[in-house]
């Protein structure tokens, strides 16, 4: 995420993940300076999902000497004051301060969309259908995705593992061998996504459609889904 050049001798690798319904930023922090790194502080800019570190201070298990590294995990929460609704993207602008040197460096953490999906989010079929119909068609986004194998059950398992809930399956009347499968998920900041996959028996392609009240957010979700199932 941050090279030693960006970090003035400190480098950071890692990723945003979700464990047991909680968001974490897992990092490997290394040091290429002569001075041990004993204390770091972290701060995020306002962002699409209101992400904020649970603790400003990064608790290092031991000082990081020259040529070594340590693994740390920072809890992350979603808070309304940190929301920036004007910009919809998966870039988390981050600042780190090295207490030993006083240096502050800046870099971008890529947000894993699956990390901000709330667990146990689901809807009954009627509520899903009413919500889908209540969102203007102009807010719907679509993409055709080539599949290695057309296996709706395998896709269902992949989505369930990412907190995307199966809602219903419907064979399309008058279209032999065609069906729609509906899913739902929401973010910790209560952005609701209504999802449809269309399949045709024997064809290794699906049409992914996503609706939400924010078209730019739907685009992010659609791109994520396409990459997940391809």
Q: pLDDT, tens digit, for every residue of 14-64?
A: 999 999 999 999 999 999 999 999 999 999 999 999 999 999 999 899 999
pLDDT of residue 105: 96
Q: What percent of the chain has pLDDT over 90?
A: 93
pLDDT of residue 85: 83
pLDDT of residue 23: 98
Task: Assign domain 125-229 one CATH number from 3.30.310.10, 3.30.930.10, 3.40.50.1000, 3.40.50.2000.
Answer: 3.30.310.10
Q: What is this structure's pTM?
A: 0.93
Q: How many CB atoms lie within 10 A of CB 183?
A: 24
| Average of per-residue pLDDT values in the chain | 96
Q: pLDDT, tens digit, for every residue of 55-110?
A: 999 989 999 999 999 999 999 999 999 999 889 999 999 999 999 899 999 999 99
What is the length of the chain?
A: 230
pLDDT of residue 5: 95
Supply angle C-alpha 87, 93, 98, rounded to 5.
160
pLDDT of residue 69: 97
Topology given in CATH for the domain delimited by 10-115: Immunoglobulin-like (2.60.40)
Mean pLDDT in residue range 196-217: 96
pLDDT over threshold 90, residue 185: yes
pLDDT over threshold 90, residue 206: yes
For 111, phi and psi rounded to 5 degrees?
Answer: -85, 125
Q: pLDDT, tens digit, for every residue of 140-175?
A: 999 999 999 989 999 999 999 999 999 999 998 877
Structure letter (DSSP) for residue 189: T
- Residue 116's alpha-carbon distances to 25, 179, 189, in angstroms, are 12, 29, 8
Give the dihedral sign, CA 211/122/78/7.
negative
Mean pLDDT in residue range 193-218: 96
The rounded distance, in Å, linking the Cα atoms of 7 and 11 is 6
Q: Which residues, 6+ apart, have CB-to-CB distance to 41 below 8 Å?
A: 56, 57, 58, 96, 97, 99
Tell me the domain boundaries of the chain: 10-115, 125-229
């Amino acid at each position: 995420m941050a090279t030693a050049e960006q970090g003035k001798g400190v480098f950071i690798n890692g990723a945003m993940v979700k464990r047991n319904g909680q968001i974490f930023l897992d990092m490997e922090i290394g040091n290429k300076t002569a001075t041990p790194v004993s204390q770091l502080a972290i701060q995020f800019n306002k962002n699409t999902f209101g992400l904020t570190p649970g603790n400003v201070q990064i608790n290092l298990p031991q000082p990081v000497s020259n040529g070594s590294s340590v693994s740390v995990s920072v809890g992350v929460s979603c808070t309304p004051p940190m929301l920036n609704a004007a910009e919809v993207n998966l870039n988390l602008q981050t600042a780190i301060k090295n207490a030993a040197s006083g240096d502050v460096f800046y870099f971008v953490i890529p947000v894993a969309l699956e990390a901000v999906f709330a667990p146990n989010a689901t809807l009954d079929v009627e509520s899903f259908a009413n919500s889908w119909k209540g969102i203007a068609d102009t807010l719907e986004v679509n993409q055709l995705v080539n599949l290695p194998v057309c296996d709706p059950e395998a896709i269902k398992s992949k989505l369930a593992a990412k907190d995307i809930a199966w809602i219903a399956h419907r064979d399309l009347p008058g279209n032999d061998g065609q069906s729609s499968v509906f899913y739902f998920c929401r973010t910790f900041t209560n952005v609701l996504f209504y999802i449809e996959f269309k399949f045709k028996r024997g064809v290794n392609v699906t049409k992914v459609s996503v609706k939400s009240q924010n078209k730019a957010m739907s685009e992010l979700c659609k791109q994520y889904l396409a990459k997940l199932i391809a």
